[in-house]
Structure 1
Amino acid sequence: MSSPEETALVPKSSGKDAGLAPLLLTVVELIRQLMEAQVIRRMEADTLTDEELDRAAESLRKLEAQVLDLCEIFDIDPADLNIELSELGSLLPKSGGYYPGVSLGNPSILELLARLLNTGIPPRGKC
């Protein structure tokens, strides 16, 4: 039996016809960017040790590289991972980058989720 490193992934279809792959990669990328925003917030609040920050940064880099590798395997343009949600805006920031607390002009679902994670959701009637 071959090791995971030796097993080649060969998709049956690619690009927009890759089945669930684009959707799953979109969800993974959304979560990765949310985690990155939380790391930035904790770094700015000085609540991470240098070791924790290094581990978090390395994990986020590896996850981003894995997403890009899977995009290449399934012949998916990473820009296609962003979903336009009509009046709600886009799922991810169009410029490709988000920095917590800095508005990019066209709010994305990522920014909304990051703010909710940061401030919490108030109990009903306590806004």
Structure 2
Amino acid sequence: MSVPAKVLVIDDDADLRAAVRSMLESKGYAVAEAESGKEGLRKVAEEKPDLILLDVMMECDSEGYGVTYAIKHRADYEPYRGIPVIMMSAIQESPDELFAMSPESEMIRPDRYLTKPVNMDLLLEVVEKALAERLPRSVANQ
């Protein structure tokens, strides 16, 4: 029996976390939650997720970008750099559009960007694709 893929949902909106958890668990995924970037970074190390769903605006307007930077570039998170990060935000402009002229844009770029309100069918499709690209088939298709 294979272990289900684990998704970490980092978002300050408890209702969204609950909806995403319900949808993902109904498809056989294991789900962990965090309500802030700080808690999310701690859970990355504790839970070792296969994928991260991340809000941009939590305790501050750019908190999600700081989390993405930490996971992708900080030495203490080096073991987790390969974890796909899917950012979800009410900000309509993607990080590429917001930071097009900034040399730091590469450092905070998520693997995928979805705008809120998130279409759950699209979210599931994006999660499945990201996991299929990262994990062996038996784990990704739980």
Q: Which one has more relative contact order, counting CA pairs under 8 Å at least 6 apart?
A: 1
TM bin, normalised by shorter chain, reads: under 0.3
Q: Which has the higher helix share?
A: 1
Q: Which has the higher strand share?
A: 2
TM-score (norm 1): 0.27
